[in-house]
Structure 1
Amino acid sequence: MEGKLRVAIIGVGQIAKVGHIPGFRKAGAEITAACDVSPESAKQVCETFGIPRAHTDWKEMLDTGGFDAVSICTPSVHHCTMAVESARRGYHVLVEKPMATSLEECDRMIGAAREHRVILMISHNQRFIPAHRKAREIISSGTLGAPLLVQTAFGHGGPEKWSPTGQWYFDPQQAKLGVMADLGYHKLDLVQWLLGQDITGVSAFMGTFQKDTPLEDTAAGILTFSGGAIGTIVASWAYAADWENSVTVRCANGVVMIPEHDPFTVVVRRDLPGGGKEEVTHRIVSEDSSGWFGSTGAFAEAVRKGLPSPVTGEEGKKVMAVLLGAYDSASTGKVHRLG
């Protein structure tokens, strides 16, 4: 495409304000419209960021046009309908995770994007965190040998602690699924991407300990992978006085560790031939602590240059299959097999 990329935002909550809007700005895109069910929120965000048009009806905004792409930052129950309707009107689509609430919805989104020849990207922003990208580079080089065990955790005190409108995460009518779909989804994608292996089995356990919701606020699981590795995952909104966003990959000849509070550091330890050990700390210079700059930037570049989606709908569906398998396992008490 020629000229500046124009983007419209659907849903102006905290993720839009701290992630998508600044990310598109940094990528050189122009945000021409924003929509929210709250007139006050839509107006405030448009005034704060200098966005020309505020809407409360997303379909009306789509019909009015004046943009090339849509960024969907709403509760997940709306993702499918909004993505499909956007694609039908010829808009490229970036949609927040989780991609949808069912595999059937994923198929509808993928089909609409394919039929109308638009880019559909799922916002797997943790792939773009600098430390994660460096870790993948190290693991895929093979210098540490085959990955054997991955351990990952993502936890904090709950969405209401960082988002003024975070209570919707506890509402089954809007979120449908709990912390495994919120935080665990990130890690289910990340570990597959880091290892270059698909998850083939999941055994999960879930509970609600602190939040006033029928949805789970804490989940843990054991994973098996197509390349023979195994792993563990923890996702929680019940971390008191703490938060964690960590991953450790133990390979045949060494270990790759990302400290729990540092998105710019990767620690590598390996055995040396003939005995002894070596530790190397990689520090990355970046301002993209959450990966949103990288995610929105990659989407913007793909639209401008006509490149493939940086994170396809098929990749999002693959994560959804594992996620739903985790809920099935927690419900039945059995291992859920995939593939």
Structure 2
Amino acid sequence: MHNRTDPIRLAVIGAGLVGQRHARNAAAHPDFEIAWIVDPDPTRQLLADELGCRLAKRLEDVPAKDCAAAIVATPNADHLPTGLKCLDRNWSTLVEKPVADTVDNGERLVAAFEARRLPLLVGHHRRYHPSVDKAKEIISSQTLGTPVSASLIWAVRKPDSYFEAGAWRRDKDGGPLLINFIHEADLLVGLFGPVQEVQAMVSSHARGSLIEDSAAILMRFASGVMATVMLTDAALTPWSFEGASGENPTIAETGVSSWRIGCTAGSFEFPGLRIWTDAKDAEGDWSRPLKDHTVQVAKVDPLHEQLTHFAQLIKGHESEPKISGRDGLEALRLVEAVRAAAQSGRPTPVATTQTKANVV
């Protein structure tokens, strides 16, 4: 715990697409002082010079006492070993999603931080959008009746340069299930509670890689909600959470919602929060006209909000991570169940440690 008022010295480990965003956000954040970037690529010196910090090729080259916290933004398979090194240095750690490449490795990382009672925050940054809090309020309050269904699309075309910059993205640790659907999984579980079972099909037809480029997923929640997901990183469309929210400078903003959530007395689009109800405020049915209105919420930079929360955890001003290691494991369990269902071709139960729904 750090009760000081001066900025927290931070190391950003991994300076790829996401790591660079973290580094620039940290450099501009009043609660942090970016001290080190750790990346074996010597061209990252340009970023270090830009941000006024030092570059190290290896974490071992950074003095342990020179920082109090770290952001781990390395490839998925590296999250466990690098996270444990940060723990050995007594650094509070924000690890990018997924918490690890497998549930087993994630459980090892989470248990190690819990045993030391050191903050571990998982980078499911979408939870910091006010639209997520509003969606949770609509669902949990049953303002539109009982939730019945959810249908969502995450469909973008990643450029060839994305794969050329990281060969691992074509391997078993890459692919949109573990890199992109994991965000949708976190929101789905956060909004609707535990998933009971999934069915899925995957394809690598579009890119011909070792890993999937597309997936179709069907899931049943313990609450009774049914959801479908269409996922691909090989189609040019306006439908993605990032496109709708404008949260990622790498992905062009479209303003087009990618989720549809149906309830017994109305429905809404998400994250845009366009709400549909009976035109005369009656019970409504398919024979009656509908009316719509859009709920306005503040637009934020979720990475900035995440850093603010991280600082509050480190300083002891907040005691519970908004997205804990255990939350990260729930999303990862769902991804692993989807992969197992796609491989077996059969409905697959989803392991869970959650005991209640609507936990955003």
Structure 1: distance between partners of 2:210 and 2:311:
38
CA RMSD of aligned residues (A): 2.1
The residue number in structure 2 matching 1:45 is 47
Per the alignment, residue 358 of structure 2 pairs with none
CA distance in 2, matches of 1:337, 1:247: 24
Task: Give the aligned partner of residue 238 of structure 1.
Answer: 234
Shift of 1:334: 0.8
Asked if the contact 1:20–1:292 (Cα under 8 Å) also holds between the matched residues in 2, the reply is no
Shift of 1:162: 5.9
Alignment partner of 1:123 is 2:132: no
Q: Give the counterpart of 2:295 among 269, 282, 291.
A: 282
| Counterpart for residue 186 of structure 1 | 183
**Identity across the alignment (%):** 23
| Match of residue 331 from structure 1 | 343
- Which amino acid is the alignment partner of residue 311 of structure 2? A
Counterparts of 1:1-339 in structure 2 under 5 Å? 1-3=3-5, 4-19=7-22, 21-22=24-25, 25-26=28-29, 28-41=31-44, 43-51=45-53, 53-61=54-62, 63-158=63-158, 160=160, 165-172=165-172, 176-195=173-192, 197-240=193-236, 242=238, 244-245=240-241, 246-258=258-270, 265-271=272-278, 272-273=281-282, 277-288=290-301, 291-304=302-315, 305-339=317-351
C-alpha contact 1:151 1:233 (8 A) present in aligned 2: yes
Rounded Cα–Cα distance in structure 2 between residues aligned with 1:8 and 1:135: 34
| Aligned-residue offset at 1:274 | 6.0
Residue aligning to 2:357 = none
Going from structure 1 to structure 2, the CA distance change for 1:8 and 1:115 (only over 3 Å counts) comes to same
3-state secondary structure, aligned to 2:295:
strand
Name which of structure 1's ranges 125-134 and 27-36 shifts more when overlaid on structure 2.
Answer: 125-134
Q: Aligned partners of 1:139 and 1:24: how far apart in 2?
A: 37
Cα distance change of structure 1 residues 27 and 136 upon mapping to structure 2, 3 Å threshold: farther
Deviations 1:221-261, CA, capped at 9 Å, x for gaps: 00111111110112211113655222221111111202xxx
Structure 1 length as normaliser, TM-score? 0.89
Q: Residues 187 and 23 of structure 1: is their aligned pair in 2 closer, same or farther, counting only changes over 3 Å?
A: farther
Unaligned runs of 5+ in 1: none
Unaligned runs of 5+ in 2: 242-257, 352-360
The aligned amino acid for 1:224 is R
More displaced 10-residue stretch of structure 1: 111-120 or 136-145: 136-145
Quick one: structure 1 residues 112 and 39, their matched pair in 2 at CA, closer, same or farther if it must change by over 3 Å?
same
CA gap of 1:186–1:160, structure 2 versus 1, over 3 A, is farther
Range with bigger deviation, 229-238 or 203-212: 203-212
